[in-house]
Amino acid sequence: MAVVLEEFKTSVKPTWCPGCGDFGVMNALGRAVASLGIPGHEVVVVSGIGCSGKISQHFGAYGIHTLHGRVLPTATAVKVANRSLTVIAAGGDGDGYGIGVGHLVHAARRNVDITYVVMDNHIYGLTTGQTSPTSDPGMATKTHPRGAFEEPVHPLALAIVSGATFVAQGFSGDVNGLARILAEAIRHPGFALVNVFSPCVTFNKVNTYAWYRESLTSVDGDPDYDPSDRMAALSRIEATRGLVTGILYRSRRPTFESQLPGLGEKPLAVLPAGLSGEDLEDLLAEFE
């Protein structure tokens, strides 16, 4: 039976603000998974804390809403336990590039087969508008009323130098383009970071849909751009100040879970317990 977009929609109405960029991300994610023919019962969405973290509750698949900044360790555990599942980690710039940035580095260097979608709105939206790790210098917020002065995190460059084998960036105002990027990321065998500019229409009046449409360039359709060239990717990111969309970098190396000693390809969940019926009953009785 064909997998259709409706399979990933639920009856639960998201509590995101009208016009929130996260609606576009969820729509694009559904289109991407449907285009790959992956049924919902083979997909797990692991999300963190923040407005973006609600996506696991609204996407028609298995979902885990985990602790602040702990998306990637949880997603890694899911993938190791059952590598037949499509594992999608999702969160925001505060969750992923603040408290969770250490986990990003290690997931990238390990090359765990996870697609990590970060909804980057340059502000903490759920807590009503504080400076985030990706806020631009000079941006006035509740915590920096005279303007942010710290150097922001540069997620694309950080992921590439940490060892990620797929690094891309999309814009939630371009759902079709984002869906294509997400499909490639999910298809990629290894760690894939997709940073998505997802405007916060309530608390960020600087990085708006109109601002991104004027500011962004794309490597898509550029015949001279080679996404397998690591240094070229870093140069393009630097030259555009990160305001570039498309697949910036892609390479191949063995995944983390394929190299774990003693772990076969068969999911742990379906392996026989290796116990007799009597022994299993005794074991289960201990937990009654």
Residue-wise pLDDT tens digits, 15-69:
999 999 999 999 999 999 999 999 999 999 999 999 999 999 999 999 999 999 9
Between 101-110 and 155-162, two packed helices, what is the crossing angle to 10 degrees?
40
Kindly report which listed range (199-203, 251-255, 283-287) carries the lowest average pLDDT score.
283-287
Q: Which residue has the tokens 């765990």?
A: 112
pLDDT band at 262 (very low <50, low <70, confident <90, very high): confident
- Asked whether residue 249 carries a pLDDT value surpassing 70, the answer given is yes
> What DSSP assignment string belongs to 1-34?
----GGGGB-SSPP-SPTT-HHHHHHHHHHHHHH
Mean pLDDT of 121-141: 95
Q: What is the pLDDT of residue 255?
A: 97
In which element (H, E) is residue 183 found? helix 175-187
Q: What is the pLDDT of residues 146-171, one digit of tens each?
A: 999 999 999 999 999 999 999 999 99
Q: Report how far residue 18's alpha carbon sits from residue 36's, in angstroms, rounded to the nearest whole number.
A: 29
Does the pLDDT at position 1 exceed 70? no
Q: Would you mind telling me the total number of residues written for the chain in this entry?
A: 288
Confidence of residue 188 (pLDDT cuts 50, 70, 90): very high
The pTM for the full model equals: 0.93
Nearest to 260 by CA among 74, 83, 73: 83
* Residue 251 and residue 165 in contact, taking contact as beta carbons nearer than 8 Å: yes
